[in-house]
Structure 1
Amino acid sequence: MSRIDTLLDQMTLAEQVSLLSGEDFWSLPAIERLGIGKLRVTDGPNGARGGGSLIGGVKSASFPVGIALGATWNVDLVEQIGKALAEETKSKGAHMLLAPTVNIHRSVTNGRNFECYSEDPVLGGQLAAAYVTGLQGQGIAATIKHFAGNESEIERTTMSSKIDERTLREVYLIPFEYAVKKAGTWGVMTAYNRVNGTFASEHKWLMTDVLRQQWGFDGVVMSDWFGSHSTAETVNAGLDLEMPGPTRDRGEKLLAAVDAGEVAPETIRERARAILTVMERTGALDDHREHKETADDRPEHRALIRKAGAEAMVLLKNDGILPLSGDQKIAVIGPNAKAAQIMGGGSAQLNPHYRVSPWEGSVAARGEGVLTYAIGCTNTRFEPLLETPFQVAYFDNDTLSGEPVHTATQDEAQAFWIGRIANGKVAPNHFSARLTGQFVPTTSGIHRVGVFSAGYSRVYVNGKLVSDAWTHWNKGRTFFEDGCDEVIGEVDLVAGQPADITIEFATKAHSTLGIAAFRMGISAPLGGTAIEEAVAIARDADVALVFVGRNGEWDTEGSDLESITLPGRQDELVAAVAAANPNTVVVLQTGGPVEMPWLDAVAGVVQAWYPGQEAGNAIADVLLGLAEPGGRLPQSFPVKWSDNPAHSQDPKVYPGQDGEVEYREGVFIGYRHYDRHVIAPLFPFGFGLSYSTFAFSDFSIDDTAFETEGSVDVSVTVTNTGPRAGSTVIQLYVHPEAPPVERPEKELKGFAKLGLAPGESRTVTLSLDARAFAYFEMSRGAWAITPGNYRVSIGTDAQSSVAEGKITRQTALERRP
């Protein structure tokens, strides 16, 4: 008998039930009677935050975000990052990392695209499997998420994603399937949303029929935080773990459901078995150490982040301006030049060890003497956060009444209260707080004061109410849709004269997530001459580097983008600088595509994403040619938002209507959509330039096993014909000719990344199995390969084929899921 069976036999029903929900926000309860320790989890996926708040907390390494890793197309590199994140997770005393995020880029406006790998399921699936392999090879459980159909942040906790089975099988489930079958993931997290009318956390077909029975998953299925809504329904459907704790729908309710015959004791045992299995695999079963979190700033992690950040960067345009030479005078311009945009917003954010801005990276690489700077314009979504010391008084009521029950200090005008608040002296859902501090303006005149909150908030400046998100609070698009939109007031201040700031906050009745949070910012509006100042320094420089894009206020969980135009006056800034200096290079930092009306006027464009804490150093490495821009687009960049497959005049398609969003485009997302509708993207999927050049030869197809097994091997030789080392990505696409059902013109089915020295050649063989040629036949519930011709092509992006051949099947072939 196994140890787990022995423990299950020894456990009471109540003890088994106790393992099926969290004890607190980040851990499960121990069972001391049987020597069972605590299972602890921590958020990811671009770091390991630990058990603290989304704001502050013990410092952690900040790695490149998901879309940046997707842009590397480098399976080995992503596995290395998985290994490093296992070390980070251990430094936070945890056993499971809530990562990776593998939802598909259905829409270019999804606020969480930055956290996900790709619009293509095979690219996303291969990288997910590598991430899971690296993580779990070090004894840390992966928790792949969000299963399934969470491709928008709009009303995500209630929206139903209407997706037919073929589309689910061919697109949205594949990254999860790869993680289970190729990497053996130990954890899966369900999505908040409904899938075809049923909450993902209650979806028996997803969790039991597909995940466990068809794919063979044997780990833990957990809810997203506050994402389970029932007792018997979730347990019977296959949800092992309700998070966070303390429990809302399990515990005594679940014991009562067993007594009533609604849940079988055998089902409880199987759910507890899943928990114990992962605890045994991660060592949590015997982990009785006191929980401790440390900030391990490891040199090897710094180097890996810098390397990965550079390899993720995509060179979109280069008229010979890059890499920069060593003696050029450079104008450094833009709102992201001196701000280190290293990550997106939401649950993926953490407190990094440090942040390197592009300005700091440029100074370190070139010295400040050859650099000039101008901001040009702003790109913030909210007023800039007020960073100053505050005294905080907590009250155990929601009216700021009586004497404070606890006092504390903090260094900025924001808070995200979860778990234990004010040393446990207030209830997390019923308290108020008053913060007092000062702001010293550097300019005289009108200042804008903004505040938003999940709960009620208001801001007084020198005793006068300036911003009121209390009296007429309305639900908006902040704090995971539990917060209001920013409320802005104005106040006249004098430079150098301290202004007294008082912020009052109180909890309110919440919806799904139960968040208590606020954020307050203040600034003097940027003067109208800022663009003129940027133009002036650009005109006087050899090269103008313009750092524009978005930040984690825009690219964030809980809020989709309203467009893909650059926020504020950034397009105007780029156009003005390019008119003054033709040697203008734009460095974009975004979590996805943007429209580029100035593209023809600039000499170079680099998409740098959010590359982690080494951002500025990695960007400098690429601009100066110290590193290759190794990225290729994991998402198509459309000319305009309306070209995107999810864009529709019918709100049912996007963003959803009456609680339902229809994936009406089916399998035709990303590059498949642009092919189908003959729409030229701005930059195609898989695109990216190199600092070197490559030639392709000796293309061959071995189809000897195609008729019997459905498998094919494709080979090609790649030669670096340029003067320097470089990398390229071999992309293998399959094109069915005259299929019996409507299928994409082509689909990515394999890829390989090659780094080659000047003059070096290497032959690559990519193997395709039967699934690479199949579509999912819903009427038969099977993967079907039909007789006929199939074109197989090698490309450097979805629109550039360098070699192609044709193979033929005479008979049909079916494979069960």
Structure 2
Amino acid sequence: MNIDKILKELTLEEKASLCSGSDFWHTEEIKRLDIPSIMVSDGPHGLRKMRDDTDNPNEAIKAVCFPCACALACSFDRKLLTTLGKALGEECQAEDVSVILGPGCNIKRSPLCGRNFEYFSEDPYLASQLATAHIKGVQSKGVGTSLKHFAMNNQETRRMSYSANVDERTFHEIYLSAFETPVKEAKPWTVMCSYNRINGEYSSQNKLLLTDILRNEWGYEGLVVSDWGAVDDRPLGIAAGLDLEMPTSNGKNDELIIEAVNNGSLSMKDLDKAVRNVLTLIQKAEDGYAPATKWDKEKQHELAGKIESECAVLLKNDDKILPLDKSAKIAFIGEFADKPRYQGGGSSHINSFKVTSALEAVKGMDNITYAQGFVTDRDETVDELLDEAVELAKNSDVAVIFAGLPESFESEGFDRKHMRMPDCQLKLIDEVAKVNKNVVIVLHNGSAVEMPFADKVNGILEMYLGGQNIGTAEKALLFGEANPSGKLAETFPEKLSHNPSYLNFPGNMDDVDYAEGIFVGYRYYDEKGIKPLFPFGHGLSYTTFEYSNLTVSENEIKDDKTLTVMVDVTNTGDRDGMEIVQLYVSDKESSVRRPVRELKGFEKLFLKAGETKKAVFHLDKRSFAYYEPDIHDWFVEYGEFIIEAGSSSRDIRLSTSVYVSSDTKLPVHFTLNTTCGEINSIPEGRAMFENILSKIDCDFGDTASDDLGASAKEMMEAMIRDMPLRTLVTFTNVPDITRAKMSEMVENLNEMLAEK
């Protein structure tokens, strides 16, 4: 396809039409110029392609549902995400789908977000790494992805109109950095803008977001597509960098584009940029098309189960209740054992060609009996079901309760109102725990839940929404055929009110203030000293691991160099297993408020019993930097940084330190409104501060010798540090401290800094 030639031959009307879909899932074709239509389809954990025999976009072909992102993230495994991506790419090729819509890497700001099951983590580094691996896997098969939802789509309530009001530092450190690495390293064919506004401006027409940051700062060269129905002002969107509107507007927005070009409010240059990006996407799809690709659904069903077995998180295992003894009398209780909740609701809902439940997976094991226990279509205790379950538990060695959140509790389109599980399930757990001391809870949920039963049961196995073969994974994990290796990608607080966004979620009508700033997830719990129910990065195993020999390649580095960190990990148990080593970094003493620790590396190691392996990490400038609004860039402040290796954010095994320096200096310009303390914060200003302090000390000399003694002097010095220079002029009665002399000192200091 000769895109330059085509651009010259296209009419204005044809250019406008290419900037919108032809229907719900296809781009526009122009037959006279041999421009084909390509198909995009929902993902991201399976192919949700509309059937050919229907006009209903919600009637999809039979496909394979893999574990959702909430589960996948707990694998902390880049290779696993790439393997998943390759499987999705093969599905798309077999079904002639050019772009699969995903992955989603929005931050889990609150556990109440109804779409959390589609997102990876509360931590931007983890989310960015897994999204990058996912995209690389899909696109290695000649199929495009759509990194979404760019940006700050962190709730479903009023999602098409609310404004996410956020400061510049938080915007970059938490919410944009999750997207930055996938854009730069994986180069997704498309990026999907979100529905919401950011600081008052819709994402679909936000030039700062779509052009200044995405294209100019990050160097993105792909296509930007709207979320379905996210467009507000179409011509303004094109000028801001939104190339393709989906789905079709039935020609209405085409007319607005034509009108805007004709009246000069939209330049032909901006329209041509959008058209070029659409044509480039079509060309990529044509070049990557592999029609002979086979789709082995049964093989992918097996893969879905294997992936889930490496994602599930063993949260609690008192008295080593797991793995279960295969000869014991075991009660499986709960409707999810028979009809598992394995995926979320909404646009990612897969029409699974088969589903394997835990009950089906254990067929043939005569020592396992089943009671339904509760219903999922309503939160109401059915006495007959409850009594049957309690009686079964009473006569069993172990009771395994399959519980969690029904789809009515969490889905795309609405947010949860609380973190509780259904009352009928909680009552069931309480009653079973009264008659059986050996209780294991197997959870099916898309986000964190409160667990009032945590101290009443021996074991808790978090499966999240584990895909259509969840039952096979559950059997393997419960009976020790697989060793749990997942770690939580989000914090489970003891109760909702502990969450940092509690007072500001879901906001005040169309205004949502991100008042917690950078303190999202574990960053907040660590800063506040709040003990969570289960911390970020937590996950148990059937074996044990020991850390040793944490080393760094240098004791002091410049921020343009890379630091290598290594730590030895030994499997000290009697089972083979996998350990996720987490590397955290903290600034020991910073002039700005920073988190206690931040995840900056992770490696998943498979270790045979008794084996030792070395985890190796590479830390660059961004591992030590914070985003500095004064320079609109990342900045490393000179000082000592603590490097921590841990099994979770609250289980730090080893630590060391390194000094990091930078040639970058923050711009400093002092005025009479600058405080004395700010003057004293830089070496060049300390002499000036000491000079001022000595004069004030003379004026208040008697203060130090009165009954209050030294404390009065300290109080006065503290007050002076926080005083603007202009206030000192009027507050003191020192002849040498005049407005003119203060202005002269400030001017001299600014000149000295400018020369440096």
Q: TM-score range by the shorter chain?
A: 0.7 to 0.9
Tell whether the 8 Å contact from 1:548 to 1:589 is kept in structure 2 after alignment: yes
Tell whether the 8 Å contact from 1:381 to 1:554 is kept in structure 2 after alignment: no
Richer in helix (by share): 2
Residues 1:61 and 2:61 are matched in the alignment = no
Give the C-alpha shift of residue 708 in structure 1.
5.5
1:129 to 129, 132, 140: 132
2:514 to 663, 679, 685: 663
- Aligned residue in 2 for 1:10: 9
Q: Distance in 2 between matches of 1:732 and 1:815?
A: 28
CA shift digits 1:95-129 (9 cap, x unpaired)? 00110011100001111111100000000000000
- Aligned residue in 1 for 2:419: 564
1:268-417 equivalence runs, <5 A: 268-283=271-286, 296-319=295-318, 320-363=320-363, 367-380=364-377
- Report the CA distance shift for 1:638/1:54 in structure 2 as closer, same or farther (over 3 A): farther
Give the C-alpha shift of residue 362 in structure 1.
2.4
Once superposed, which parts of structure 1, at least 4 consecutive aligned residues long, lie more than 6 Å away? 284-287
Q: Distance in 1 between matches of 2:102 and 2:331?
A: 39
Look up the equivalent residue of 1:300 and give its one-letter code.
Answer: K
Residues 1:601 and 2:604 are matched in the alignment = no
- Aligned residue in 1 for 2:465: 610
1:667-746 equivalence runs, <5 A: 667-703=518-554, 706-707=557-558, 709-746=560-597
Q: Distance in 1 between matches of 2:596 and 2:18?
A: 48
Q: Distance in 2 between matches of 1:244 and 1:814?
A: 47
Secondary structure of the corresponding residue to residue 733 of structure 1: strand
Structure 2: segments with no counterpart, 5+ residues: 668-756
- Report the CA distance shift for 1:768/1:815 in structure 2 as closer, same or farther (over 3 A): farther
Residues 1:185 and 2:188 are matched in the alignment = yes
Tell whether the 8 Å contact from 2:556 to 2:658 is kept in structure 1 after alignment: no
Give the C-alpha shift of residue 250 in structure 1.
2.5
CA shift digits 1:528-563 (9 cap, x unpaired)? 232222111001111111000013332210111111
Tell whether the 8 Å contact from 2:72 to 2:120 is kept in structure 1 after alignment: yes
Tell whether the 8 Å contact from 1:88 to 1:296 is kept in structure 2 after alignment: yes
Count of paired positions = 662
Q: Percent identity, please.
A: 39
- Aligned residue in 2 for 1:775: 626
Tell whether the 8 Å contact from 1:229 to 1:249 is kept in structure 2 after alignment: no
Q: Distance in 2 between matches of 1:298 and 1:226?
A: 32
Residues 1:234 and 2:85 are matched in the alignment = no
Residues 1:539 and 2:539 are matched in the alignment = no
Tell whether the 8 Å contact from 1:39 to 1:285 is kept in structure 2 after alignment: no
Tell whether the 8 Å contact from 2:403 to 2:443 is kept in structure 1 after alignment: yes
Give the C-alpha shift of residue 135 in structure 1.
0.8
Tell whether the 8 Å contact from 2:555 to 2:659 is kept in structure 1 after alignment: no
Q: Distance in 2 between matches of 1:545 and 1:815?
A: 58
1:764 to 615, 638, 643: 615
Look up the equivalent residue of 1:45 and give its one-letter code.
Answer: P
Secondary structure of the corresponding residue to residue 631 of structure 1: coil
* TM-score between the two structures when normalised by the length of structure 1: 0.79
- Aligned residue in 2 for 1:43: 42
Q: Distance in 1 between matches of 2:399 and 2:58?
A: 35
The structure with more radius of gyration: 2
2:606 to 736, 751, 755: 755
CA RMSD between the two structures: 2.0
Give the C-alpha shift of residue 583 in structure 1.
1.1
1:552 to 407, 413, 416: 407
Tell whether the 8 Å contact from 1:150 to 1:192 is kept in structure 2 after alignment: yes
Secondary structure of the corresponding residue to residue 255 of structure 1: helix
Secondary structure of the corresponding residue to residue 383 of structure 2: coil
- Aligned residue in 2 for 1:437: none
Secondary structure of the corresponding residue to residue 372 of structure 1: strand
Tell whether the 8 Å contact from 2:555 to 2:657 is kept in structure 1 after alignment: no
Q: Distance in 1 between matches of 2:108 and 2:254?
A: 37
Residues 1:630 and 2:492 are matched in the alignment = no
RCO greater where, 1 or 2, for CA within 8 Å and sep 6 or more?
Answer: 1
- Report the CA distance shift for 1:243/1:619 in structure 2 as closer, same or farther (over 3 A): same
Secondary structure of the corresponding residue to residue 600 of structure 1: coil
- Report the CA distance shift for 1:682/1:608 in structure 2 as closer, same or farther (over 3 A): same
Give the C-alpha shift of residue 810 in structure 1.
4.5
- Aligned residue in 1 for 2:259: 256
Residues 1:265 and 2:264 are matched in the alignment = no
Give the C-alpha shift of residue 722 in structure 1.
1.1
Q: Distance in 2 between matches of 1:343 and 1:698?
A: 42
Q: Distance in 2 between matches of 1:711 and 1:687?
A: 28
Tell whether the 8 Å contact from 1:378 to 1:568 is kept in structure 2 after alignment: no
* TM-score between the two structures when normalised by the length of structure 2: 0.85
Give the C-alpha shift of residue 527 in structure 1.
3.3
Deviates more, 1:204-213 or 1:757-766: 757-766
Q: Distance in 2 between matches of 1:341 and 1:546?
A: 14
Structure 1: segments with no counterpart, 5+ residues: 383-524
Tell whether the 8 Å contact from 2:636 to 2:661 is kept in structure 1 after alignment: no
